[in-house]
Amino acid sequence: MTTMMTAAVPAAGAAGQYESWRAKRIPAVEEIRPGIWSLPTPMPDNPLRYVIAYAARVDDGIVLFDSGWLSEQSWASLNGALDSIGYSVADVRMVLITHTHADHHGLTRRIAEASGATVGMHRTEAESMRTISESISAHPKPLDAWLRERGAPADEVDVLTAQMADDTVARIHHSLIAPDLLIEDGDRPVPGRPDIRAIATPGHTQGHLCFLFEDDRLLLSGDHILPRITPHVTRPPDLDDDALGSYLDSLAKVASLEVDEVLPAHEYRFSDLEGRVTDLIAHHRERLDEIRGASRGGRSTWEIATQISWSRGWDATHGFMRQTALSETFSHLRYLERIDSVRRSARRPDHWHPTS
């Protein structure tokens, strides 16, 4: 996640969820509509505190949308949440994944092994998950080279690549299960529920999906649209495409959907989808102006990242959060390069200049 901005107004029925978020508690399980539940589970040692999976009733059980963080605490919490709505893990028929970050996909293998559930995700997300796992197996060389190319000091490179070599990181990534079902934009993947439509929303990841519950006028947004913060928009170190451009296009794609509530994976559910999209796009436009201004005189990605504003300040940002801040800066620079607003010089590490 990256910088904070104007927050969305909680949905009319989300007072309890909103107050729990404000009080830094994990919200209660809620039945949002008949047969549709929010299932918050903890993310130990993470400032986001919890991730929200969702369950929808089908004829012979339930479908889960995302699964939760890979930990015993999260597993116990998910089982308790399912029990509270009259189901168990054995009743899960499908697990549909918005994207394969570990807080959304971490428990999927365990659920599938316990229930025989079908696992579905976007084709591009499955390909990306495989590529990242192979990169981790090859150790941190792609990240090392990418950091140096962005102008990171040698001591910072050592710290950040050491994290990728951590056994915990490798364990989490290698525990992620491949899908049985590949989902494309517009698919209706749940048998007997033609009202649930998948919407491809690349940006936060290459194969991110949202799910539109047409009859209930709900958008399950994963990390694509959150009520208070902007999702981290970047790509793996060895993929130099325009992640921010994809994200802005995906925001525009969902802005006019006729929904009453947005169900995000973090914080609290909210209303006024179009207003929130407008705010997010405006935020990124302001961010682009700030980053373009910081490139004057010719600076590396690292130097620009140190000059722009961050919610906690650059000096208070360390480790993985500093890496995400750097990659977020690079995503904005790549977008500016694509629209010919900045240019990248041939020197190494990279140096950026405004085009006029």
pLDDT tens-place string over residues 41-87: 999 888 889 999 999 999 999 999 999 999 999 999 999 999 999 99
Does the pLDDT at position 128 exceed 90?
Answer: no
> For residue 304, what is the enclosing H or E element?
helix 301-307
Greatest alpha-carbon span in the chain: 63
Cα separation, 133 vs 110, whole angstroms: 18
- Dihedral sign computed on CA atoms, order 108, 273, 196, 234: negative
Residue type, 50: Y
Listed residue (184, 247, 208) closest to 99, CA to CA: 208
Does the pLDDT at position 174 exceed 80?
Answer: no
- Over the stretch 294-308, which tens digit does the pLDDT of each residue have? 999 999 999 999 999
pLDDT recorded at residue 131: 74
Listed residue (98, 118, 100, 129) closest to 211, CA to CA: 98
Q: Where are the domains of the chain?
A: 15-139+177-295
Residue type, 115: S
User: Average per-residue pLDDT in the chain?
Assistant: 91
Cα separation, 255 vs 144, whole angstroms: 38
Greater confidence (64 vs 163) lies with 64
Does the pLDDT at position 119 exceed 50?
Answer: yes
DSSP 117: -
The pLDDT-based confidence of 240 (bands split at 50, 70, 90) is low
The pLDDT-based confidence of 7 (bands split at 50, 70, 90) is confident
pLDDT recorded at residue 2: 47
Does the pLDDT at position 139 exceed 80?
Answer: no
pLDDT recorded at residue 208: 97
The pLDDT-based confidence of 236 (bands split at 50, 70, 90) is low
Greater confidence (166 vs 300) lies with 300
Give the count of alpha carbons within 13 A of 30, CB side only: 18
Helix (H, G, I), strand (E, B) or coil at 96: strand
**CATH class name, domain 15-139+177-295:** alpha beta
Q: Range with the lowest mean pLDDT among 130-139, 231-240, 313-322? A: 130-139
The pLDDT-based confidence of 321 (bands split at 50, 70, 90) is confident
Joined together, the tokens standing for residue 220 give 């399950």
Does the pLDDT at position 238 exceed 60?
Answer: no
pLDDT recorded at residue 1: 40
Does the pLDDT at position 29 exceed 50?
Answer: yes
The pLDDT-based confidence of 5 (bands split at 50, 70, 90) is low
Cα separation, 25 vs 41, whole angstroms: 11
Find the mean pLDDT for residues 224-228: 96
25 contact partners, CB below 8 Å, separation of at least 6: none
Rg (CA), the chain: 20
pLDDT recorded at residue 348: 87
Greater confidence (133 vs 281) lies with 281
The pLDDT-based confidence of 163 (bands split at 50, 70, 90) is low
Dihedral pair phi/psi, residue 112, rounded to 5°: -65, -40
pLDDT recorded at residue 154: 92
pLDDT recorded at residue 319: 83
Contact 201, 231 (CB under 8 A): no
Cα separation, 229 vs 322, whole angstroms: 17
Does the pLDDT at position 108 exceed 90?
Answer: yes
Joined together, the tokens standing for residue 114 give 């316990």
Does the pLDDT at position 168 exceed 70?
Answer: no
The structure's pTM equals 0.93
